[in-house]
Structure 1
Amino acid sequence: MSTPQLKKKRVRLSPEVRKQKILESALMEFSEYGYGAATVERIAGLAGLSKAGLYAHFSSKADIFEALLTQVLRPPFEAEQWRLLEGESLRDAIDRFIDVSYERLLEPGTVATLRLLIGESARAPDAIRRWRETIVVPYQRSQQAMVAQCVAQGWMRESALTRNFDLVSAPTLYAALQFVLLQDEEGLRQVQTLREAHRDLLYELLPHPASSANPD
C-alpha cells in the first residue's frame, strides 16, 4: 500500500507582510538588473507570487520602486527629536542626530537603495518626484520649523546653518555618496571619519553661546 502524500498547507500572509516580501524581492531584482531591465514577473516569482498576485498589492513596477524609496529612504531623525529631554543638553541631541543618521546610512538596504536612486533616477522620474514631494520636502520643512523654535528659545544661535537647515544634513549625504561609490574598508573608514567631523562641526556651530547645558 502506498503511503498517502500530505498536502503542504499554504501559509496565508497578511497584506503588510506580503508587501514587505515584494519590496525585498524588488530590491534584489533592481540591484541585479537595474530598474529598466527588471521585470514584474521576476519580482513576483522571488516573492512567491503570480504576476496577478503582485498586482493585487502594487499597480506597476514604478509603484513598487516608489514604495521601496519611501520605505528605505525615509529620514531616520524626526523633527521632534530636537526637543531636549529633561536634564540633557543640545550636545546630547546632536549626538542622537549623528548616531541615528549614520547608523541608517550603513544598513545594507539603504546602501543598495541609494545606489538605485543614483543610477536609475532618469528611468523613474515620476516615482522619484513623488517620493521627494511626500517624504523629503515635508521632512525638510518640519526640521526647519523645529530649528526655528530652538533658535527662538535660545538653544541654537541663528546662523546660515539654522536658516538653511539642509546644510546640517549635507555631510551625511556626502558620506553616503562616498560609501555607495566605494563600499569597501576604505569607504567605511571615510564614513567614520566624516561622522566624527560632522559631530564636531555641529558641536561648534549650532549651540547658542548664552544657552545653558540644561535649558528650560
Structure 2
Amino acid sequence: MRTQRQRLPPTVRTGQILDAALQEFSAAGYEGARMEDIALRAGLSKGGLYAHFSSKEQVFRALLERHLTPARLDARAIVEASASVRQLAERLVDHLYASLANPAMIVTMRLLLAESARVPHLARRWRQETADAHLADIASLLALARERGLCEGGVAARHPELLLSPVVHAIVMAILASADEPFDLAARRDAHMALICGLL
C-alpha cells in the first residue's frame, strides 16, 4: 500500500526545500543542481517542488534571502541605548555577529561567491538590497552617534565600510577553513569591538 505524503504548513515545507537546495547547490553547484534532485532531497515530487518554486533561480534567490539577509540595524535604538563608545561598539558587534554563528550562512555565502559569475544579477541584487543597505545603516548610526557626542567624525565616519571589514574577514576565513579547524568567533568578536572603539 502506498503511503500518502504528509501535508505540512507552507512555511515548514519551504524550509525543508531550502535545506535540501542548500545541500544540492553545495554538492553540484548552480549549473549542476536540478530541480528534480532538490525535490528528491526534500522528499517531494518534482511537481510538489514546483508548487512552491517556479524555477531553480527562484530557489537560489530564496536561499540568499533566508541566510544572507540579516535584520536591519536599528541605528537610533542602538545610539539611544549607548552611554559610551564601548557600549555603542558592543551593540553594533552583537548585531553584526548574530548571523555568523549559523553554519548555513557561511555555506550560503560560499555558494554566492562561487556562483556569482553564473548568476550576476542575483549577486548584484543581494549586494544592492542587503550589503549596501547594511552599510547605509552603519553610516546612519555613526552620524547619530556624532550628534550625541559619542564619537568624532574620524576615518570611520568617512569610510563606514571599515567597521564591516573584520566581519568580511571572519566570513572569508570561515569559508576557507576545513570542518575540523577551530574558529574562535568570540575572540574575533572581542578584537572587532576593540577596533571599533579605536576607530571611533
Is TM > 0.5 for Structure 1 vs Structure 2?
A: yes
Moved over 6 A (4+): none
Stretches of structure 2 lacking an aligned partner (at least 5 in a row): none
1:212 aligned residue = none
Q: 2:33 aligns with which of 31, 34, 38?
A: 38
- Deviations for 1:2-45, whole angstroms, at most 9, x for unmatched residues? xxx7x856432222222111111111111111112111111111
Which amino acid counterpart does residue 79 of structure 1 have in structure 2? D
1:60 aligned residue = 55
Is 1:146 aligned to residue 137 of structure 2? Answer: no
Q: 2:193 aligns with which of 196, 199, 211?
A: 199
Q: 1:82 aligns with which of 78, 90, 93?
A: 78
Equivalent pairs: percent with the same residue? Answer: 37
Aligned residues: 199
Q: Distance in 2 between matches of 1:205 and 1:137?
A: 21
Residue 187 and residue 162 in structure 1: after superposition, are their counterparts in 2 closer, same or farther (change >3 A)? farther
Q: CA deviation at 1:127?
A: 1.6
Q: Distance in 1 between matches of 2:39 and 2:157?
A: 46
Q: CA deviation at 1:48?
A: 2.1
Compute the TM-score of the two structures, normalised by the length of structure 1. Answer: 0.81
Q: Distance in 1 between matches of 2:107 and 2:19?
A: 11
Is 1:173 aligned to residue 198 of structure 2? Answer: no
Stretches of structure 1 lacking an aligned partner (at least 5 in a row): 207-216
How large is the RMSD of aligned CA atoms in angstroms? 2.4
Q: Distance in 2 between matches of 1:184 and 1:8?
A: 38
- Deviations for 1:110-133, whole angstroms, at most 9, x for unmatched residues? 121121122121111122122222
Residue 48 and residue 186 in structure 1: after superposition, are their counterparts in 2 closer, same or farther (change >3 A)? closer
Compute the TM-score of the two structures, normalised by the length of structure 2. Answer: 0.86
Q: Distance in 2 between matches of 1:51 and 1:128?
A: 26
When Rg is computed on C-alpha atoms for both structures, the one with the higher figure is: 1
